[in-house]
Amino acid sequence: MGGFNPPHRLLLGAGPSNIHQRVLQAMSSSIVGHLDPYFLEVMDETKKLISKAFKTQNKFSLPISGTGTAAMEASILNIVEEGDEVVVGVNGFFANRMEEMVRRWGGKTIPIKKRWGDIITKEEIENALKNSNAKIVALVQAETSTGALQPLKDIAKITRSNDAILLVDAVTSFTGVDLEIDRWGIDICFSSPQKCLNCPPGASPITVNERALTKIRNRRKPVSSLYFDFVLIERYWSERRMYHHTAPIINVYGLREALVIALEEGLEARIAKHLKNSNALVAGVEAAGFEMNTEKKYTLPTLNAVRIPKDVDDMRIRQIILDTFNTEIGAGLGELKNQVLRIGLMGINSSERNVIFALDAIERAFRIEGHPIKKGAATNAATEYFSAH
């Protein structure tokens, strides 16, 4: 067996993003026990940092041991009971996954089905709640598969006025776009660290307010999963320190440092950075003759889905970019397979340099494949945008 030497890529796909050097350094630190006094301090610090990043006072703000999918399933299985009606906005791959999880855990879904790339409207949510017994609404804020940014503020008001719980997937939006847990009134929200936080997956931030926790604590039956039982997890992460499972200690180190970095930069500054770089990318894409998969006002700044011509082999384009530029660009998923390129600009990967680099790589790959794109059209448009802003 040969040596282990993974290539160093520029990861401009749908995730993971490149890891921040400080996060790598933190994760190379000495491991201690999961109940060691030092790690207990790290746990408390991490909880406070998660609360600040989510802009919430929720005491239940902590990392779920697992990937973003684990956080999604944990959220659903805790809040959904057998027979519960759940309104689910179904407009992408991960929205589909939420709907499937609700069904698997005994819920009855009331889907609002839209084109992959469109958003769910507040009117659709209001109608679904009025015409059902649903007391839970599940939405994806940043649909990674489509590049759509779901508005939440008005929907949160409607959900609260109907005495329903709002559950939000913020995997690709957390610390990259505006997300106001307390001010908007979001009850449960989860994310994952390998996107805007530039940290490996394994410890996924989640926050749950008292309103949702009360419902969870008063379930008719305990949740079927012991591992993901929020009541038990809360006892471990609270001052009680009741053993539940061995936390992914090194991953928590990394998450803590990633959150420190994000808060040092400032959430507002990060949000503005992601939006500016995405706008420049869109300007370049349009100058090259392509279209985004979403309306401009709903384009997700952290993950930009670009529609490609029907006669283009997206796998070939992405392979050229990988081979020639050592850079990963994301493929289309599900209904958008071979229809879009997904360009991730997340955290440290969201930069003027990477925007120009990605546009140049895409231009060249298309020209290599014989598709007529004016040389420099995309990069010049993006450069002009940066100069003007």
Task: Provide the 10 A C-beta neighbour count for residue 218.
Answer: 7
Examine the pLDDT at 2 and tell me if it is beyond 90: no
Residue 372's Cβ-count burial label (10 Å; 0-12, 13-18, 19+) is exposed
Span 287-297, pLDDT tens digits: 999 999 999 99
Q: pLDDT band for 1, please (50, 70, 90 cuts).
A: low
C-beta of residue 190 within 8 angstroms of C-beta of residue 35: no
C-beta of residue 198 within 8 angstroms of C-beta of residue 27: no
Span 203-218, pLDDT tens digits: 999 999 999 999 999 9
What pLDDT, on the 0 to 100 scale, is given for residue 371?
A: 85
Task: Provide the 10 A C-beta neighbour count for residue 3.
Answer: 4
Average pLDDT of the segment spanning 270-283: 98
Angle at which helices 352-368 and 377-388 cross, to 10°: 160
C-beta of residue 343 within 8 angstroms of C-beta of residue 306: yes
Reported pTM: 0.97
Span 109-162, pLDDT tens digits: 999 999 999 999 999 999 999 999 999 999 999 999 999 999 999 999 999 999
Q: pLDDT band for 233, please (50, 70, 90 cuts).
A: very high
Structure tokens at 388: 């003007």
C-beta of residue 222 within 8 angstroms of C-beta of residue 229: yes
What pLDDT, on the 0 to 100 scale, is given for residue 375?
A: 85
Give percent above pLDDT 70 in the chain: 100
Span 44-64, pLDDT tens digits: 999 999 999 999 999 999 999
Kindly tell me the sign of the dihedral angle through the C-alpha atoms of 304, 305, 308, 314. positive
Q: pLDDT band for 18, please (50, 70, 90 cuts).
A: very high
Domain 20-265: state its class: alpha beta
Structure tokens at 215: 């419902």
Average pLDDT of the segment spanning 67-93: 98
* C-alpha distance across the termini of the chain, in Å: 52
Examine the pLDDT at 96 and tell me if it is beyond 90: yes
Kindly tell me the sign of the dihedral angle through the C-alpha atoms of 151, 155, 160, 166. negative
Q: pLDDT band for 87, please (50, 70, 90 cuts).
A: very high
C-beta of residue 287 within 8 angstroms of C-beta of residue 306: no
Q: pLDDT band for 3, please (50, 70, 90 cuts).
A: confident
Q: What are the residue boundaries of the structural domains of the chain, listed by start?
A: 20-265, 267-388
Examine the pLDDT at 372 and tell me if it is beyond 90: no
Average pLDDT of the segment spanning 251-264: 98
| Mean pLDDT over the full length of the chain | 97
Average pLDDT of the segment spanning 312-340: 96
Domains 20-265 and 267-388 share a fold: no
Give percent above pLDDT 90 in the chain: 96
Indicate the fold that domain 267-388 takes in CATH.
Aspartate Aminotransferase, domain 1 (3.90.1150)
User: Distance between CA 116 and CA 355 in Å, rounded?
Assistant: 24
